[in-house]
Structure 1
């Protein structure tokens, strides 16, 4: 999860570069500013933790959360309009959000 300022051209560029690097490293957008990546175990997740630490823009913040397969599967999508369907996210071993 991240919160990056986008007021100046320099901040907008840093945001675009950060997002591009997330995608290049296999992260998938769950919703705006929330990306996840499935990893087989926590030690594999540490690799991406180190990558994220190197990618963080100077201004802004990034939060890393490890979620088990069961916790991720139990996520509920609550929508405000009728007719919107729930999404099935997946069922992998460990998810880094």
Structure 2
């Protein structure tokens, strides 16, 4: 079986005006982290998957856990497309997973 690594990207903009809004924000963010998503930027999270079928399972799970208000966007791209991303300003932090290694030693 060949693997075609995919990357699921989540972009969200959630209100934090009320106590309920802040709770929804925290719950959604915790859900992403507990399901293996890594923060790329504030409100931008990504997760690497083995193939398209596992990416579809993850997107289904995310759709079940979206907050009632705000904007949540999701895109699935190949790892090759993701690797072509250019950093225009700033530095890349090494604590994020940026490749498909099976074991990462910190």
- Give the TM bin, normalised by the shorter chain: 0.7 to 0.9
Q: What TM-score results when the alignment is normalised by the length of structure 2?
A: 0.75
Question: Hey, what does 1:6 align to over in structure 2?
Answer: 16
Structure 1 runs of 4+ off > 2 angstroms?
A: 84-92
Helix, strand or coil at the partner of 1:65: strand
The alignment's TM-score, normalised by the length of structure 1, stands at 0.82
Q: CA RMSD in A?
A: 1.6
Q: Identify unmatched segments of 5+ residues in structure 2.
A: 1-10, 101-106
> What are the ranges of 5 or more consecutive residues in structure 1 without an aligned counterpart?
93-97
Structure with the larger helix share: 1
Q: Pick from 26, 29, 42: which aligns with 2:36?
A: 26
What count of residue pairs does the alignment treat as equivalent? 88
Q: Specify which structure has the bigger relative contact order, considering alpha-carbon pairs within 8 angstroms and separated by 6 or more residues.
A: 2
Deviation of 1:86 after TM superposition, in Å, equals 4.4
